[in-house]
Every structure is written in structure tokens, then in C-alpha cells.
Amino acid sequence: MLAVSMVKECVQDALKASVNSVTDDADTVCEKLTSKHDSYSSYHVTVKVNSGIFRDAIEWSYVQ
């Protein structure tokens, strides 16, 4: 499941780019969805974070 770990790593990198403390408390779950064709892959990604950290991330995005 190399692709799943790569997607999860990309999500964690994106979280680091917005607010550094998010990745410490984030719970990221990634699962590959079934595809009709082999030419593409789809994933369902769930990220759970503390509401205070989520608020800080939203405020940070307005400052940028």
C-alpha cells in the first residue's frame, strides 16, 4: 500500500505548510477506493484535528 502511505504523507505535509502544530495532533486516515479502470486511483482521506488547532489554521489562512 505504498500509494496510500504517499497520499497520507502528502496530507501531513500540507498540514505542516499551514500550521506547524497541526501534524502533532492530527489523525489522518487514508483509504484507496475501488476504481472501474486501472488508469486512475481515488482515495478517501479523513483528517481529525482538535477544534482549537482547526480554528488557528483558519485564522492563519486569512492572514496569509
Residue 18: predicted pLDDT: 61
Residue 64: predicted pLDDT: 61
pLDDT in tens, 2-56: 788 888 888 777 777 665 555 566 788 888 899 888 888 898 988 888 888 778 7
Helix (H) / strand (E) element for 53: namely helix 51-63
Residue 22: predicted pLDDT: 55
Residue 34: predicted pLDDT: 92
pTM of the entire predicted model: 0.59
How do 27-33 and 42-48 pair as beta strands? antiparallel
